[in-house]
Amino acid sequence: MQNLSHTKTLISIVGPTAIGKTNLAIQVAKHFNCEIISCDSRQFYKEMKIGTAVPSDDELAEIKHHFIQNISINGDYSVGDFERDGLAFLQNYFKENDVCVMVGGSGLYEKAITVGFDSFPDVDPKIREDLNKELEEFGIEKLQEELKAADLTYYNEVDIQNKQRVIRALEIIRGTGKPFSSFRNQNTNPRFFNIIKIGLKLPREEMYDRINKRVDIMMNNGLLSEAKNLFHLKELNALQTVGYRELFDYFEGNITKEFAIEEIKKNTRRFAKRQMTWFKKDESVEWFSPFEFDKIIENIEVKKSSI
C-alpha cells in the first residue's frame, strides 16, 4: 500500500460490551471532526440490529459510521475480508483526513486492522472434515473439552460457543501437535498510520449491572421478534451469537422465555470477561472509565503531539 504521512492517526476504542464505547467514540470523533469505523464482527450484518446493539439512528446521524450493517448474514465475510476492506478504506480516507476513530469489542477484528494476522501452517483438509463430522455427531461440548485440554490459553480467550473458531483452533492443534496459541502474535505488519488505543473499564458489579439493563432494553426494543425472524437461519455462523442462541433454544421449546433472558445476561457477562482478558494482554492500551472524557482527550492529544 502507498505510504502515507506519519501524522495520520487511528484512535482505537476497545473494551467489553455495554461499557459505553459507542458514546465515547462519537464524542471523540466530534472532538477531532472525523469519522468512525466499526470493528464489531456482528454489527456488520443488516439483519442483526437489536441483538448486536447497533448505534441508534440518532447516533449514526451525529457522525458518519462505516462497516455498520453493510452486509447480509447470508454472505460469507471473514476477518480476512475485514482486514482487506478496512485497510483499503483507511488508505483512501487518510488522503483527505488526519484522524479516524475505530470502535468495537471484537478483539480479533480490531487486531486485523491494527496489527494484522498471524501466519498458520497448512494442515491436511481432512482434519477439518473429521472435526465437522464430530461436531455433527457429538455436539460442540466434546470439541470444547478437547480445546480446553490442548490449549487452555486460547480456550480462555475464544468464544467457545463459536463453532467455527473452535474447529479452526483444533484443526491447527491436530495438524501440528502444537497449541493454536503458539502460532499467534508471531509477526506484526507495519501499518501506514499511527495507532492510539483507548480501553474502557468499570468495576465488575457496575459492568454486570449495565449488561443486565442492556439485555432488558433489547428485549423491550423487539429482540424476541428479531430473533424469531432469523430462527430459520439459526445454523449460520453469524447467528452463533449471545442473544440469539438462547432465544432459539426458547423457540425450540427447550427452555422458558424467562430462563432464556437470564441465560442471555449470564452469557453476555461471560463474554465481557473474555473480552477484557483479550484486551488486557495488549500493553499498548491505556485504560479509563467511560466517564473520563476530558482525561481521555488529553491523553490522545499528548500522544498525537509526541508522534
Binding residues: 15-22
Q: Which three cell numbers stand for residue 131?
A: 472435526
Angstrom distances, CA of residue 152 to CA of 17, 147, 179, 182, 271: 23, 7, 9, 11, 16
What is d(CA 153, CA 194) in angstroms, rounded to the nearest whole number?
29
For the annotated binding site for substrate, the residues are 17-22
Q: Which amino acid is at 203?
A: P
DSSP code, position 241: S
Strand locations in the chain, DSSP E?
9-14, 36-38, 65-66, 99-103, 194-200, 285-288
Binding-site sequence positions for ATP = 15-22
Helices marked H in 65-139 — which ranges? 79-93, 107-114, 125-138
User: Could you tell me if 263 and 269 are in contact, meaning their C-beta atoms sit under 8 angstroms apart?
Assistant: no
Is the separation of the CB atoms in 179 and 185 below 8 Å? no
- Which triple of cell numbers denotes residue 240? 452463533
Closest by CA to 223, choosing from 199, 200, 243, 246, is 243
Cα separation, 121 vs 184, whole angstroms: 11
CA separation (Å) from 230 to 40, 154, 238, 247, 248?
A: 19, 30, 11, 10, 9
Q: For the beta carbon of residue 109, count every other beta carbon within 10 angstroms.
A: 22
